[in-house]
Structure 1
Amino acid sequence: MQAEKLVLVLCAAIACVFSSEFLDQEWKAWKAKHEKEYSNFRDEIFRRKAWEATWQKVQKHNQLADQGLSRYRMAVNKFADMTPEERTSRKCFHSNKKSQNYVPMQDYSRILNIPESVDWRDSKCVNPVKNQGFCGSCWAFAAVGVFESHHCIKTKKLVEFSEQQLVDCDKGNDGCCGGMPDKAMAYITSHGIMQEKEYEYSGKQFQCLFKPDNALGFNVTKYYILPGEDNMALSLAFDGPMAVGIDASDDFQLYCNGIFEGGCTTDPNHAVIIVGYGTEHDEESNEDIDYWIVRNSWGEDWGDKGYVKMRRNTNTCGIATEASSVDLTR
Structure 2
Amino acid sequence: MKYLIGSLLISFLFISNYFNSTQFQSSDFENWQKQYGYFNTQYERQYREMIYNQNKKLIQEHNSKQNITYRMQENQFMTLTHEEFVGIYLSEVKESIQEMTILNQDLYNPLQAVDWRNYTTVYNQGSCAAGWAFSVGSSIESWFYIRGGGQNISVSVQQLVDCEKNSSGCNGGINTQAMLYALKDGLYNSQNYPYVGTQLACKATKSGTYFINNYTFVGGSSQSLQSSLQNYPVSVGLDATNWQFYSTGLFSNCSENLINHYALAIGFDSNNNWVVQNSFGTGWGENGIIKLLPNNTCGILNQAYQIY
How high is the TM-score relative to the length of structure 2?
Answer: 0.85
* 1:38-91 CA-partner distances (Å, limit 9, x unpaired): 221111111111111100000011111xx3x11211112110111122122235
> Aligned pair 1:181/2:175, yes or no?
yes
**Aligned partners of 1:204, 1:94: CA distance in 2, in Å?**
18
Q: For 1:47-196, what aligned pairs fall within 5 Å after superposition?
A: 47-64=48-65, 67=66, 69-90=67-88, 92-93=90-91, 95=93, 98-99=96-97, 114-122=110-118, 125-126=119-120, 128-155=121-148, 156-196=150-190
Partner residue of 1:247? 239
Change (3 A) 1:46 1:267: same
| Letter aligned with residue 98 of structure 1 | S
More strand by share: 1
Change (3 A) 1:259 1:205: same
**Aligned partners of 1:225, 1:278: CA distance in 2, in Å?**
18
* 1:208-241 CA-partner distances (Å, limit 9, x unpaired): 2114355223333x4335212221111112x311
* 1:86-107 CA-partner distances (Å, limit 9, x unpaired): 1222354453762567xx99x9
Partner residue of 2:6? none
Which of the residues 199, 222, 230 maps onto 2:193? 199
Is the 1:294–1:307 contact (alpha carbons within 8 Å) kept by the matching residues of 2? yes
Task: Give the drift of 1:310.
Answer: 1.4
Q: For 1:223-242, what aligned pairs fall within 5 Å after superposition?
A: 223-224=216-217, 226-237=219-230, 239-242=231-234
| Letter aligned with residue 116 of structure 1 | Q
* 1:273-301 CA-partner distances (Å, limit 9, x unpaired): 1101114xxxxxxxxx5311111111111
Change (3 A) 1:219 1:115: same
Partner residue of 1:259? 250
Change (3 A) 1:230 1:100: closer
State the secondary structure of the residue aligned to 2:272: strand
**Aligned partners of 1:204, 1:17: CA distance in 2, in Å?**
40
**Aligned partners of 1:191, 1:71: CA distance in 2, in Å?**
43
| Letter aligned with residue 40 of structure 1 | T
Is the 1:61–1:74 contact (alpha carbons within 8 Å) kept by the matching residues of 2? yes
Q: For 1:250-329, what aligned pairs fall within 5 Å after superposition?
A: 251-262=242-253, 266-279=257-270, 290-313=272-295, 315-326=296-307, 328=308
Structure 2 residue runs of 5 or longer lacking an equivalent are 1-9
**Aligned partners of 1:25, 1:264: CA distance in 2, in Å?**
37
Task: Give the drift of 1:22.
Answer: 2.0
**Aligned partners of 2:36, 2:89: CA distance in 1, in Å?**
22
**Aligned partners of 1:253, 1:112: CA distance in 2, in Å?**
34
**Aligned partners of 1:253, 1:219: CA distance in 2, in Å?**
35
Q: Give me the CA root mean square deviation.
A: 2.8
Is the 1:176–1:205 contact (alpha carbons within 8 Å) kept by the matching residues of 2? yes
**Aligned partners of 1:235, 1:160: CA distance in 2, in Å?**
23
Aligned identity (percent) is: 29
Partner residue of 2:30? 28
Task: Give the drift of 1:188.
Answer: 0.5
Is the 2:186–2:212 contact (alpha carbons within 8 Å) kept by the matching residues of 1? yes
Task: Give the drift of 1:136.
Answer: 1.6
State the secondary structure of the residue aligned to 1:197: coil
Change (3 A) 1:308 1:274: same
* 1:159-187 CA-partner distances (Å, limit 9, x unpaired): 11110111111112111111001111011
Task: Give the drift of 1:242.
Answer: 0.8
State the secondary structure of the residue aligned to 1:195: coil
How high is the TM-score relative to the length of structure 1?
Answer: 0.80
Is the 1:71–1:258 contact (alpha carbons within 8 Å) kept by the matching residues of 2? yes
* 1:96-154 CA-partner distances (Å, limit 9, x unpaired): 762567xx99x9x9x985433100124xx31x211111122111101111111112222
Is the 1:95–1:180 contact (alpha carbons within 8 Å) kept by the matching residues of 2? yes
**Aligned partners of 1:83, 1:146: CA distance in 2, in Å?**
31
Change (3 A) 1:92 1:22: closer
| Letter aligned with residue 237 of structure 2 | G
- In the comparison of the two structures, how many residue pairs are matched? 294
**Aligned partners of 2:95, 2:199: CA distance in 1, in Å?**
26
